[in-house]
Structure formats: structure tokens, C-alpha cells
Amino acid sequence: MLCTEYEFNLPHGFVDTEGNLHRDGVMRLATAADEIVPLKDPRVQNNPAYLLVLLLSRVITRLGSIDLVNPKVIEGLFASDLAYLQEFYNRINGNGTRSLHVNCPHCQQDFQVEIDQPGEL
């Protein structure tokens, strides 16, 4: 069965207006619409970096006790948490490093290695 939702735990967490800390959450796999629809948003057209905010607000289904994660919530994240979520998004959607099963030709030992996608640094 295909896993479409993944739990995460933010390094610092989101602090809401009442001072509550929200660190654990759930992100679902992105759809084509999740990546295409935000491109039409004027905020993205004026500032392409805003795409990440809209994209994450679409795919994060829960953050702590917050069930409706909107762009304002994502805007309120600490920079390190935003970077963490961007990396997490790339990893679960197949845009980040991947694991590859290999066999050593000398000792015949099996092991996993992580490889970067072509064109990534």
C-alpha cells in the first residue's frame, strides 16, 4: 500500500498567538495541482520565493493542534523550520536524496547508499 502521509517534528516549532508551541505535524504527498495552482497566485508572481509558503500550506494537513494550516501559519515559522519542511517535502516527494541498494563487487556485501538527484548540489 502506498503511504501518502508522513509525520514530522519541527526543530523549533510554531508558536501561535496564544503562545502555544506546535512541533509535530503531518505532510501528505503533493499532487500536480499543489505544484501548479500556486504559480497563478499574484503573491508568487511578485515574489517567486512565496511559492514555498503556498505549497507547504497545501500539503501540511496538521501542525500540532492546528488542523487548518494556511499561509499565515507557514509565514510564522522560524527560518530553520521552514528549511526543514522544504527538505522534508523534497524527500517524501522524490525530489531529494534517494536510497539505492548496492552490492560491493569485491566482498559481495549488500548495503544502502544515498544518492543525489541529477542537477542537485
Q: What is the pLDDT along the chain (121 residues), one digit of tens a residue?
A: 888 999 999 999 999 999 999 999 999 999 999 999 999 999 999 999 999 999 999 999 999 999 899 999 999 999 999 999 999 999 999 965 555 556 666 677 766 555 444 333 3
> Closest by alpha carbon to 30, among 95, 83, 97?
95
Q: Where are the domains of the chain?
A: 5-96
**Alpha-carbon distance 98 to 31, whole Å?**
20
pLDDT computed for residue 107 by the predictor = 79
pLDDT computed for residue 115 by the predictor = 47
Residue 12 in grid coordinates: 523549533
pLDDT computed for residue 118 by the predictor = 35
Q: Contacts from 93-98 at CB under 8 Å and sequence distance 24+? A: 93/29, 93/30, 96/120
**Alpha-carbon distance 12 to 14, whole Å?**
7
pLDDT computed for residue 32 by the predictor = 96
In this prediction the pTM is: 0.77
96 near 117, Cβ under 8 Å? yes
Q: Is 51 left (phi over 0), alpha (psi -120 to 50) or beta?
A: alpha
Alpha-carbon distances of 41 from 2, 85, 106, rounded to whole Å? 31, 21, 54
